[in-house]
Chains A and B, each alone.
Chain A
Amino acid sequence: MRSRISFITRTAKGGISYRHVDLDSDFVRFGRSTNNEIYLKDPRVPLDLAELHERPNGFFIEASGSIDIRHGGAITRAAHVKVGDTVALGPFDLVVIEPPEGFSVAATVELTRPLGDDLEELTARSTTSIVATGISRRRWAVGLFLLVIVLFAAAPLVGVFSPSIHQASLAWPVSVDIAWEPGQLSRPHDFFGDDCSQCHAQPFAQVRDQECLTCHEDISHHGDPVNYVGMGAARCANCHEEHNGWAAPVGQDARYCVACHGDLQGIMVAVDLANASDFSTEHPAFGERYPHTRRTAVNFDHVRHFDAHFVDQRYAERAPAGCDGCHTVAAATRSVMPRGFDATCAACHAGQIADREFVLLRLPEMMEPIIERDDLMEVCGPTLEAYEANQERLYSMAERLDLMRERVEAMAAGEDMEDGEEEEEDEEEEEFESVSVEELTPVAAYLLDTQGDDPDSYGAGVGALTTSMAEEGVGPLFDLIAEKTSEAEASRLIAGLNAEAVKRLACAWAANLEYEAPAEPMAGGWYGDYLELKYRPAGHADPVLRAWLDLAAATVTEDDEEGESLGAVRETLLSAQQGPGACIKCHAVTSVAGEAEAIDGIDSGALSIEWHYQVDEARPLHRYSHGAHLKLVRPGAVSMMDPTIGCANCHELDTKAPYAAAFDDFDPTTFSSNFKPINKAVCEQCHGPSDVAQNCQLCHSFHEKPTVRMAKTARQ
């Protein structure tokens, strides 16, 4: 076949040039190899690309190598080509055209997809600077600036100036305030959460005292402000700095105190305190009786017990081994509380309590029967009736014996007994003879408003009380006590009194008989005993006895008839010699008003019995923890009485002190301690400039009552 392949080249100005390749062969091969009839010089063309040849039914083009050809846009291995067809040969396009005369086939070849400029393409592919990556410093800078401003400046500011947004934000997971919180609030204030407005009520202003006083409304001044000059500018926050962690926001620097106490003359109107600027070098001596300001609540004479009782062979086994035998060392705070009666005193003194019975009522000598026999039968019922019958039989037997004796005597004397004389004797036998020759108890006399030693005075009252007790049991007695005290007090005073026992006792007394109880209460309690209604204490701290003693102590006695009666009650009950007054052999009795005005040895004013350990609160500005110091004493490892490391290291017994004498009156402040006073030297054993801390706040408080009472309006 004869073929013409024309190469088309276009110039930049639009010109077209042709280069014809005329061939006379059976086929025409296309490729990059120079062996091909049509040499396509382009690296993208394989060595052997395609072959054009003639077949009976026309011209065909077929791929020669592994690369396919594209005919009319479709990828194929072979195609029948006609005039006008386009076949893509790599970057070249082959277009079949009408063959010129003398040629059987013709086509044009044009490089339609030339290679680009190498440098341009390489430069376009390469990103050789950070700027070219699209990362913008300016955008980052502006973005971060705005982010921080919005989150950490604008949001909190909105909270400051818009209370509604601020309040709403408190319910959000993160409040608007949190970004500005400079540090952890102390544990007591932690419940404020992120709400800065709890303290910072006004912008551009320091925390005001009034915000503190919202909760600390009862906080006291440090002494009387009238006595100070220039203290008005002091704010709570001067000493109490917050946002410093969980520790209480109390300044521990001694200079807080020394600022004033270093020169009290400069700030006080009237100075009665010495300057103090340093514990070691400038600190007043402790008081003569420091740290004690009052006698103890319980009259426990350490010296007598240590020197006499605990060394006595009879009691030595029951004596404590050391201080911790009686004091709760493990739970020591400012005080080292005693363990209580059962764990301490009971070993020796428990048996002395039950004997101290309290006699509430005693049937006094009566001048006439309390109740007529017939009435008595009605009141006291069959039981008394049977008793009455026995009594009748006894009387008749006694009468017959007397009559027989008289007749024997008369016969011996030769006299006959006249009928008249017999009648006279019968009348004499009917005369009443009281079973009791005692007086009324002071308590009963007080309750009945009568004279306890005058039968004419108390007769009617006792009779009525006995009768009503026989009829009703406890009720009349309760009413009588309640009338003098209160119903609640009366309930405590006769708690446990059995109504049936009272009836039986009253019936016996009404019959002018002694009452014999079926049994004595072994575990304590009320019981009737012949002519008395008594109470036997169940043990230490018996509530009924305590109620009676408290009543006797608390009631103020006046200088009149009732006061005299009440004084007798107080004297009886508070007498250490007999009865329940044994309690005050140990428990101190203190004048409530603070002034001891004794009448016949007993104070006439209101008294209180110190049933419990009294915490010494006379020095509210002092702070001390036995607990912290006892860790150094090592209880259990050494004797607490070891003078070098035990309790005795600080607490030295004062064997000459008249300790017990302090309990003779009712003034708790007149006392002598069992121990010598603690002085500075004792503390200075450890607390010094180069030893354990000695800052003021270690031992002193600023406020008398550093307590919190949440006001009703306090914000939670």
Chain B
Amino acid sequence: MHESVLVYRRYLYLKWALLLVLVAVVAYLVHSPYGAPSGATWLGYVLGSIGAALIIWLMAFGLRKRIYGPGSNKLEDWLSGHVYLGLALVIVVTLHTGFQVGWNVHTLAYLLVCVVVVSGIFGVFAYIRYPRLMTENRRGLALSGMLTEIAEIDRECREASVGIHDEINAAVLHAGQQTRVGGGLWRQLSGTDPRCATTAAYHRVREIARGVPPEQTEAARKLVSLLGKKRELVRRARRDVQYKALMDIWLYFHVPLSMALLAALIAHVLAVFIY
């Protein structure tokens, strides 16, 4: 039976993460440095070292998930730890800073940790929420199937429009030739197309169909029905693309910013040891 990474092994990594946070917070509260709390105290160095090690380990997940085959640690292990220890990292590095921030690479590294973790939180949210919505939206039909059905409806529409009013025919033709699913990044994320050719054709044909000659009424009614069906399919296809985009987009922040964090961490450690 499938077990979510969040409850994996009875919240094993959540417990480790909470223990780490608890120890760090208690140490911070008990620790009373001579000057103001900062990364330069002994506790600051300890927390900084833990934070740096965690960052390296969390980033190693990107390598681990590309390694297939049996191993001592299952990918679920890594992912569960990645989620919970990543959350604990924010607390650890915050205490490491001693709540001192400035316009420098040190604060940049701290902010990058925060942004990366926030993007990861959204990733967890997306992975929990959108697969279910996708399943509901697809109703057993994959995106490729939806596109095939849309193309088939287009063909039917053309056949139905032969011999009908030119304007209806043109609208149907335009809808067939201009309707698209997805598009640019924003179009995918929004899941809509305010200038959808199918929707426009549907409304236009419905409007014109009221005035067609009696001999074309049946064909026009059929066209309206087909366009309505196509419009619904296009909506579902777009929503499917939206869910997929939402499940993917956080990685476009999480991964590049993680690499930026790695670079900032290197600069931060260099600065500390050189000065």
CB-contact partner of B257 in A144, A152, A182, under 8 A: A144
Assembly CA distance A144 to B263 (angstroms): 8
Q: Mark B97-137, 1 if CB is under 8 A from A, else 0.
A: 00010111110100000000000000000000000000000
Interface check B259, CB cutoff 8 A: yes
Using a CB–CB cutoff of 8 Å, the interface residues on chain A facing chain B are 32-34, 41, 43-44, 46-47, 65-66, 115, 117-119, 121-123, 125-133, 135, 137, 140-149, 152-153, 156-157, 160, 178-184, 196, 200, 203-204, 241, 244, 251, 253, 255-256
Interface check B52, CB cutoff 8 A: no
**Which of B140-197 touch A at CB < 8 Å?**
143, 147-148, 150-152, 154-155, 158, 161-163, 165-166, 169, 172-173, 176-185, 187-188
Q: Count residues on chain B whose CB falls below 8 Å from chain A CBs.
A: 66
Given A43-B172, A46-B166, A179-B267, A135-B255 contact (CB < 8 Å): no
Q: List A contacts of B264 (CB < 8 A).
A: 148, 152
Given A32-B163, A127-B182, A180-B260 contact (CB < 8 Å): no
Verify A129–B244 contact, CB threshold 8 A: yes
Task: Report A378 CB to chain B, min CB distance, Å.
Answer: 87
Verify B270–A181 contact, CB threshold 8 A: no
Assembly CA distance A299 to B185 (angstroms): 89
CB-contact partner of A137 in B162, B179, B256, B263, under 8 A: B256
Can you spell out 20 A-B residue pairs with CB atoms less than 8 angstroms apart?
A66-B166, A118-B176, A119-B148, A127-B188, A128-B143, A128-B237, A128-B241, A130-B248, A137-B252, A141-B258, A141-B259, A142-B259, A145-B263, A180-B105, A181-B102, A181-B104, A182-B104, A204-B273, A204-B274, A253-B35
Given A119-B148, A130-B248, A244-B35 contact (CB < 8 Å): yes
Given A203-B274, A253-B34, A137-B182 contact (CB < 8 Å): no
Q: List B contacts of A153 (CB < 8 A).
A: 105, 263, 266-267, 270
Q: List B contacts of A184 (CB < 8 A).
A: 102
Q: List B contacts of A160 (CB < 8 A).
A: 274
When C-beta atoms are compared, the residue in chain B nearest to A149 turns out to be: B263
Using a CB–CB cutoff of 8 Å, the interface residues on chain B facing chain A are 34-36, 38-40, 100, 102-106, 108, 143, 147-148, 150-152, 154-155, 158, 161-163, 165-166, 169, 172-173, 176-185, 187-188, 237, 241, 244-245, 248-249, 251-252, 255-260, 262-264, 266-267, 270-271, 273-275
Q: List A contacts of B151 (CB < 8 A).
A: 117-119, 121-122
Task: Report B233 CB to chain A, min CB distance, Å.
Answer: 11
Task: Report A64 CB to chain B, min CB distance, Å.
Answer: 11
Q: List B contacts of A47 (CB < 8 A).
A: 163, 165-166
Verify B256–A140 contact, CB threshold 8 A: yes
CB-contact partner of A122 in B179, B262, B263, under 8 A: B179
Assembly CA distance A125 to B176 (angstroms): 11
Verify A251–B274 contact, CB threshold 8 A: no
When C-beta atoms are compared, the residue in chain B nearest to A253 turns out to be: B34
CB-contact partner of B105 in A152, A196, A204, under 8 A: A152
Interface centre among B178, B183, B260 (most CB of A within 10 A): B260
When C-beta atoms are compared, the residue in chain B nearest to A35 turns out to be: B163
Given A118-B155, A122-B147, A149-B266 contact (CB < 8 Å): yes
Verify B104–A179 contact, CB threshold 8 A: yes
Assembly CA distance A125 to B179 (angstroms): 8
When C-beta atoms are compared, the residue in chain B nearest to A118 turns out to be: B151
Q: List B contacts of A244 (CB < 8 A).
A: 35-36, 38, 100
Q: List A contacts of B259 (CB < 8 A).
A: 141-142, 144-145
- 3 shortest interchain CB distances as A-B pairs: A148-B263, A119-B151, A118-B151
CB-contact partner of B152 in A118, A143, A200, under 8 A: A118
CB-contact partner of A178 in B104, B165, B187, B273, under 8 A: B104
Task: Report B265 CB to chain A, min CB distance, Å.
Answer: 9
Given A43-B161, A130-B249, A145-B260 contact (CB < 8 Å): yes
Q: List A contacts of B143 (CB < 8 A).
A: 128
Given A179-B104, A181-B104, A203-B274, A128-B182 contact (CB < 8 Å): yes
Q: List A contacts of B169 (CB < 8 A).
A: 32, 43, 46
Assembly CA distance A129 to B245 (angstroms): 6
CB-contact partner of A251 in B34, B38, B275, under 8 A: B34
CB-contact partner of A133 in B184, B257, B271, under 8 A: B184
Task: Report B17 CB to chain A, min CB distance, Å.
Answer: 26
CB-contact partner of B262 in A32, A118, A126, A145, under 8 A: A145
Given A128-B244, A130-B248, A141-B256 contact (CB < 8 Å): yes
Assembly CA distance A144 to B256 (angstroms): 7
Task: Report A144 CB to chain B, min CB distance, Å.
Answer: 4
Q: List B contacts of A127 (CB < 8 A).
A: 180, 182-184, 187-188
Q: List A contacts of B36 (CB < 8 A).
A: 241, 244
Q: List A contacts of B162 (CB < 8 A).
A: 32, 41, 43
Given A32-B162, A204-B274, A251-B35, A130-B263 contact (CB < 8 Å): no
Assembly CA distance A181 to B271 (angstroms): 9
Q: List A contacts of B35 (CB < 8 A).
A: 241, 244, 251, 253
When C-beta atoms are compared, the residue in chain A nearest to B35 turns out to be: A241
Q: List B contacts of A181 (CB < 8 A).
A: 102, 104
CB-contact partner of B102 in A41, A122, A142, A183, under 8 A: A183
Verify A182–B181 contact, CB threshold 8 A: no
Task: Report A207 CB to chain B, min CB distance, Å.
Answer: 8
Verify B185–A135 contact, CB threshold 8 A: yes
Assembly CA distance A183 to B182 (angstroms): 47
When C-beta atoms are compared, the residue in chain B nearest to A247 turns out to be: B36
Task: Report B168 CB to chain A, min CB distance, Å.
Answer: 10
CB-contact partner of A255 in B34, B108, B187, under 8 A: B34
Q: List B contacts of A182 (CB < 8 A).
A: 39-40, 100, 102, 104, 106, 271
Assembly CA distance A41 to B244 (angstroms): 40
Assembly CA distance A179 to B39 (angstroms): 17
Assembly CA distance A184 to B237 (angstroms): 54
When C-beta atoms are compared, the residue in chain A nearest to B34 turns out to be: A253
Task: Report B202 CB to chain A, min CB distance, Å.
Answer: 17
CB-contact partner of A156 in B163, B244, B248, B267, under 8 A: B267
Q: List B contacts of A196 (CB < 8 A).
A: 275
Verify A200–B176 contact, CB threshold 8 A: no
Given A34-B163, A43-B173, A133-B188, A152-B263 contact (CB < 8 Å): yes
Task: Report B226 CB to chain A, min CB distance, Å.
Answer: 13
Q: List B contacts of A132 (CB < 8 A).
A: 182
Assembly CA distance A594 to B180 (angstroms): 103
Q: List B contacts of A253 (CB < 8 A).
A: 34-35
Given A43-B169, A137-B252, A156-B267, A122-B34 contact (CB < 8 Å): no
When C-beta atoms are compared, the residue in chain A nearest to B261 turns out to be: A148
Verify B152–A148 contact, CB threshold 8 A: no
Assembly CA distance A120 to B260 (angstroms): 40
Verify B274–A141 contact, CB threshold 8 A: no
Given A181-B102, A204-B273, A128-B148 contact (CB < 8 Å): no
Q: 8 more A-B contacts (CB under 8 A) besides A137-B255, A203-B275?
A: A32-B169, A119-B147, A133-B188, A137-B252, A137-B256, A145-B260, A180-B275, A241-B36
Verify B158–A43 contact, CB threshold 8 A: yes
Q: List A contacts of B103 (CB < 8 A).
A: 178
Assembly CA distance A132 to B181 (angstroms): 12
Task: Report B254 CB to chain A, min CB distance, Å.
Answer: 9
Given A44-B173, A126-B182, A137-B252, A152-B267 contact (CB < 8 Å): yes
Q: List B contacts of A179 (CB < 8 A).
A: 104-105, 267, 271
Assembly CA distance A149 to B105 (angstroms): 10
Q: List B contacts of A46 (CB < 8 A).
A: 166, 169
Assembly CA distance A582 to B245 (angstroms): 99
Given A125-B180, A135-B252, A179-B104, A157-B270 contact (CB < 8 Å): yes
Assembly CA distance A196 to B237 (angstroms): 58
When C-beta atoms are compared, the residue in chain B nearest to A150 turns out to be: B263
Assembly CA distance A257 to B66 (angstroms): 57
When C-beta atoms are compared, the residue in chain A nearest to B180 turns out to be: A125
When C-beta atoms are compared, the residue in chain B nearest to A136 turns out to be: B252
Q: List A contacts of B148 (CB < 8 A).
A: 119
Given A141-B256, A200-B275, A122-B181 contact (CB < 8 Å): yes
